[in-house]
Amino acid sequence: MAIATGLGTIMFFSNPGQPGYQEYAEQHLGVHLKKKLCSQTSQQFGSWMQNQCYTLVDTARPHLAQFVSQQTQRQNLILLSIYRTDIPTPPPFPNYHLETLGILGNFYTYYAGEY
């Protein structure tokens, strides 16, 4: 019983909040966008456009945290949080949906797909 209580207390106090998720998303979303969006750009428009996409993602990176904040819904489950983020992209590219688990001070994106 004491171990369960101790673990629950640790999880409660280490449940990462929205500011932590914004930092995580700013760092990791750029990588994801380059992998998915820019690779699709290359397939549809050629390598020159892929390089432009990389530049655009790098330029937008400082603004990703604010953008993610506006596009994310947090479900706080006391011991952990689930973050759901919808990322609209311009046509002809698909929009993306990310789901991330925040637990024990860390974030784990367990779903990243098109919608």
Read off the pLDDT of residues 36-95 as tens digits, 9 standing for 90 and up: 778 777 666 667 777 888 888 888 877 777 888 889 999 998 889 999 999 887 777 778
The 3-state secondary structure of 24-89, one letter per residue: HHHHHHHHHHHHHHHHHHHHHHCHHHHHHHHHHHHHHHHHHHHHHHHHEEEEECCCCEEEEEEECC
Helix (H, G, I), strand (E, B) or coil at 42: helix
Give the pLDDT confidence of 60-77 residue by residue, as tens digits: 877 777 888 889 999 998
Q: Give the integer Cα–Cα distance in Å for 50 and 112.
A: 20
**pTM of the full structure:** 0.74
Domain boundaries, the chain: 2-114
